[in-house]
Chain A
Amino acid sequence: DVVMTQSPLSLPVTLGQPASISCRSSQGLLRSDGITYLYWFQQRPGHSPRRLIYNASNRESGVPDRFSGSGSGTDFTLRIGGVEAEDVGVYYCMQATHWPPTFGQGTKVEIK
C-alpha cells in the first residue's frame, strides 16, 4: 500500500497567520490518465470529514479561498492563507491513484 506521511502532526497557529501542512507519498501519484488523485480533507471536532481539495490543487465549491493545495509527484502541500478559529481540526491527505486509497496520519491544527 502507498504510505502517506504528513508533517507536522501538530500545528499550533496564531489567528490570522498562515499555516502549511506537508504530505509525502511513498509512490508517485500521477496516474496514466494525467490526473493526480491527491485530496485534502478537514475534520472539525465532532464532525464528519469534509473534502477541501481534489486532484492536488482544485478547491471544492464553497471552500474559502484561503485554502490552497499544491504539489506533484510525491510531495504535496496544503496552505491556509490566514488561519481562522473555524479552521481548528484535523487535516488529512489521501491518495486514490493506487488501490487501496490511503490516508495520512492527520495534522491537528489548533490556535495558540
Chain B
Amino acid sequence: EVQLVESGGGLVQPGGSLRLSCAASGFTFSTSWMTWVRQAPGKGLEWVATIKEDGSQKLCVDSVKGRFTISRDNAKDSLYLQMNSLRDEDTAVYYCARGNGHSWGQGTLVTVSS
C-alpha cells in the first residue's frame, strides 16, 4: 500500500523558514517523480514544485521561485520542501504527492502569521 506521510508544518512568522518532509513507502520511490501541492484554507489546489526521479530536474511555480526548494533523498525514500522568506499567502495545507497526483499524503498545515 502506498503511503506518504508529511511532517514539519507549524506556525512561523512572516520572513521565517520551515522545512517540510515526506516519508514514502509502498512503492519504488527512486523511480517516481514527486510533487508538492498546497491548499490555502477553504480554497482550491495549487501546484508548488516537482522533482525528477534522480533529483536532476526541479521545477517550482513562479509564486515560490527563489524562496522554496524541493529536494529528495532516495536512500531514505524521502521528499523535502525548504521554505524560506515565508509570506502570509503561503499559509496552506501542504500535500506530498506521487507524480501527477497518483497518490497523496494527509497533508501538513503551515501557518504564516505574526
Interface residues of B in 29-53 (CB under 8 A from A): 37, 44-47, 50
Q: Name the A residues within 8 Å of B61 (CB-CB).
A: 100
Interface: B95 (CB within 8 A) = yes
Q: Is the CB of A51 within 8 A of B95?
A: no
Query: What class of interface size applies to chain B in its complex with A?
Result: 10 to 19
Cβ-defined partner of B47 (8 Å) among A50, A54, A103, A106? A103
Q: Indicate whether B104 reaches chain A with its CB closer than 8 angstroms.
A: yes
Whether B106 lies near A103 (C-beta < 8 A) is no
Size of the chain A interface, CB-CB below 8 angstroms: 19
Given A99-B59, A103-B46: A48 touches B106 (CB 8 Å cut-off): yes
Residues of B within 8 A of A39 (CB): 100-101
Contacting B at CB under 8 A, from A56-112, are: 92, 94, 96, 99-106
Tell me if B95 and A48 are in contact (CB < 8 A).
yes
Known contacts A92-B44, A100-B61, A103-B45, A49 near B100 by CB under 8 Å? no
B105 at the interface (CB under 8 A from A): yes
Of the listed residues A50, A51, A92, the one surrounded by the most CB atoms of chain B closer than 10 A to its CB is A51
Tell whether, in the assembled complex, residue A49 and residue B47 are in contact, meaning their CB atoms are under 8 Å apart.
no
List chain A positions with a Cβ less than 8 A from chain B. 37, 39, 41, 48-51, 54, 92, 94, 96, 99-106
